[in-house]
Amino acid sequence: MPALSPTLLHALEQAVGPAGVIRSADAMQPYLRDWRNAYRGQAALVLRPASTDQVAEVVRLCHAAGVALVPQGGNTGLCGGAVPDASGTQVVLSLTRMNAIRAIDPANETITVEAGVLLQHLQEAAAEVGRLFPLSLGAEGSCTVGGNLATNAGGTAVLRYGNMRDLALGLEVVLPDGRVWHGLRGLRKDNTGYDLKHLFIGAEGTLGVITAAVLKLFPAIASRATAWAAVPSPQAAVALIGRLRGVCGDRLSGFELMSRQSVEFVQRHVPGCAERFSQAHPWYVLIELSDALANAPLAELLESSLGGALEQGEVLDAVVAASQTQVAALWKLREGISEAQNHEGPSLKHDISVPVSSIPAFIEATDRQLRAALPGLRIVAYGHVGDGNLHYNLSKPEGSDDAAFKAEAERLMQVIYAATLALGGSISAEHGLGQAKREAAQQYKAPLELELMRTLKQALDPAGLMNPGKVV
C-alpha cells in the first residue's frame, strides 16, 4: 500500500503544525518499538497533536483517507498495543504533547487532565492540593493517563482503590470518524443509560482516542507503615492477607508477593537491594498500611499483626521499615523485578489473575507442571496477590539458548493459561491484550464474549482503522 498521499501529508502537517510532525526514520524510531524491544513496527508518520481539535482533525483526515491510526502514550505497555504493524502504512498518534492539567476541584475531589499527562505528574498535582491520586506502578515516571485508561492499568494500590476503571468519572474521546465525545463530567452519580466511558477504558485504543479525563481524588495519606516479611508458602501469604484485613481493614493499601527467584534477580542486577534477613526464604511479602489520619499507630498495628503471624508460623521473619529510606529500598526491591528480568534473557510474561484464595493452588499446580515440562526453568512469580494478580514470568534455564527458550513459549503458555482458566481466572489481569495476547484471547475467551466485543468494534469503528490488529 502506498505511503500517504502528498495531499494527505500536507493536510496532516497543517493540522498539527511543524512541532507535531515526526517524519525522519531516525526520529520515528522510539515510537516504533515497545519498552522491552519485544515488538517493532514501521510507520508512515508519527504525529504529536497539541489539542483535542488537532486530534479530531487528524482522525477525520485519516478516516477519510482510509489510513489506520495507532494511539500511543508513554509506550510502556507490555502487550505491544502501542506499536504499529510492519506495513509502514499506519500513523502513530502520540498524545504526549497533550499534557495539561485542565482543572482541579478539591471540594468535588476531582481532577481533569489531558491524556498525555504522566502518571507521576498527576500524582504530584494531586499532592499539591492535599489530595491523593492512588494509581501507582513501576512505569509511573513514563506512562500517561491516556495509556493508563486505555489499558485499565492496575498497579500496587488496587486492593484499596481499584484500577483505572474505578478511578475515572468522565472522558473526552475522539471517535474513529473524528467526532468528539465530550463526556468530561465529574459526577459520582449519572444513571442516564449505558455508561459510555467504560467502552473506552481498557479498549487499548481500538474504539477511539482518549484526549482527556476527569479522575477521582482521595484524601492524602498522613500515616504509612511498611514491612518486609518472609513467608513459608503462598498459602501463608494468603492467610496473612486475611489476618491483616481482619485487623487493619482498608488501611491495608499494598500487599505484594515475591518468590525467592524474583528477589535473587533483583539482588543480582539492581544496586542497593541487599538481603534483609540472615537466611534466604522461599517467599516474601511487602506490606503497606496507610491512613489519612496523622500519627495513626500503623507501625504498632503491623508489629502486633506480624507478631501473631510469627507465632502461627504464617511468617518466618519480618522487619517494619524504620525510615523513609528503608521504605524506598523495600519498594525498589519490588519494582526492580521487571527491569532485573531483562538481564536474564527473554522474559516470557504471564499477567494472570485468579481468585485470591486460588493463588496457592495455581502456583503449586503450575510450578509442578512447568518444571516437568522444562527442567531448569526459572519461574519468576510475583505481584499484586491482594487482587489475585500474579506476574508469572519465565526465564530460561541458566546458560541455555535464548532462541530455543523462546521456541518453548507457546507450549509453556498453554500450561499456564489452562491452569488459570481451570481456576476461573483471566489470562490478562492488568496489562491488556494488545497484539501479544490477541490470539490467546481468541482461544480462551468465551465465543459469545468475543462476538459481543466484535459487535462493539464494528459499531464504533466499522472501517477498522483504530489500532487494527490489537485486542480483537
Residue 364 per-residue DSSP state: H
Query: Which residue in the shown chain puts its C-beta closest to ligand S2G?
Result: 338
Residue 436 beta carbon to ligand S2G: minimum distance, rounded to whole angstroms: 12
Distance CA 311, CA 110 (A): 44
Residue 182 beta carbon to ligand S2G: minimum distance, rounded to whole angstroms: 32
Applying the rule CB under 6 A, the residues between 122 and 141 that interact with ligand S2G are 138
Residue 42 beta carbon to ligand FAD: minimum distance, rounded to whole angstroms: 16
- Closest CB to ligand FAD among residues 75, 353: 75
* 56 lies in the site for ligand FAD, by CB under 6 A: no
* 232 lies in the site for ligand S2G, by CB under 6 A: no
* 77 lies in the site for ligand FAD, by CB under 6 A: yes
Task: Find the binder of ligand FAD among 117, 137, 441, 472 (CB under 6 A).
Answer: 137
* 75 lies in the site for ligand FAD, by CB under 6 A: yes
391 binds, among ligand S2G, ligand FAD, none (CB under 5 to 8 A by kind): ligand S2G
DSSP 371-431: HHHSTT-EEEEEE-GGGTEEEEEEEPPTT--HHHHHTTHHHHHHHHHHHHHHTT-BS-SSS
From 118, 305, 142, 309, select the one nearest 133 (Cα to Cα): 118
144 binds, among ligand S2G, ligand FAD, none (CB under 5 to 8 A by kind): ligand FAD
Choices 5-13, 17-25, 76-84, 214-222; region in contact with ligand FAD by CB under 6 A: 76-84
Distance CA 288, CA 157 (A): 9
Distance CA 29, CA 148 (A): 23
Residue 258 beta carbon to ligand FAD: minimum distance, rounded to whole angstroms: 13
CA 193 to chain centre: 29
Residue 108 per-residue DSSP state: T
Task: Find the binder of ligand S2G among 78, 82, 95, 298 (CB under 6 A).
Answer: 78
349 binds, among ligand FAD, ligand S2G, none (CB under 5 to 8 A by kind): ligand S2G
136 binds, among ligand S2G, ligand FAD, none (CB under 5 to 8 A by kind): none
From 259, 250, 212, 215, select the one nearest 367 (Cα to Cα): 259
Q: Residues 392, 441, 142, 213: is their CA dihedral positive or negative?
A: negative
Task: Find the binder of ligand S2G among 84, 205, 360, 383 (CB under 6 A).
Answer: 383
Task: Find the binder of ligand S2G among 349, 396, 457, 470 (CB under 6 A).
Answer: 349
**Roughly how many angstroms between the first and final C-alpha of the chain, as a whole number?**
23
Pull the grid cell for residue 5.
498521499
Applying the rule CB under 6 A, the residues between 146 and 165 that interact with ligand FAD are 146-148, 150-151, 153-155
Residues 6+ apart with CB under 8 A from 447: none
* 163 lies in the site for ligand S2G, by CB under 6 A: no
Applying the rule CB under 6 A, the residues between 242 and 281 that interact with ligand FAD are none
Contacts with ligand S2G by CB under 6 A: the residue count is 7
* 437 lies in the site for ligand FAD, by CB under 6 A: no
CA 317 to chain centre: 31
209 binds, among ligand S2G, ligand FAD, none (CB under 5 to 8 A by kind): ligand FAD
* 391 lies in the site for ligand S2G, by CB under 6 A: yes
393 binds, among ligand S2G, ligand FAD, none (CB under 5 to 8 A by kind): ligand S2G
Given a contact cutoff of 8 angstroms between Cβ atoms, the answer to whether 214 and 102 are in contact is no
Q: What are φ and ψ of residue 269, in 5° steps?
A: -120, -10
The pattern of x and - marking residues 331 through 360 that bind ligand FAD according to CB under 6 A reads -------x----------------------
Given a contact cutoff of 8 angstroms between Cβ atoms, the answer to whether 247 and 313 are in contact is no
Distance CA 69, CA 76 (A): 18
* 138 lies in the site for ligand FAD, by CB under 6 A: yes
Q: Is 294 helix (H, G, I), strand (E, B) or coil?
A: coil
Run of H or E including 212: strand 209-216
- Backbone region of residue 294 per phi and psi (left: phi > 0; alpha: psi in -120 to 50; beta: other values): beta
4 binds, among ligand FAD, ligand S2G, none (CB under 5 to 8 A by kind): none
CA 407 to chain centre: 26
Given a contact cutoff of 8 angstroms between Cβ atoms, the answer to whether 257 and 285 are in contact is yes
Residue 115 per-residue DSSP state: T
Interface with ligand S2G by CB under 6 A: which residues?
Answer: 78, 138, 338, 349, 383, 391, 393
Q: Which residues are near ligand FAD by CB under 6 A? A: 35, 70-78, 81-82, 95, 115, 137-139, 143-144, 146-148, 150-151, 153-155, 204-205, 209-210, 338, 430-431, 434, 467, 470
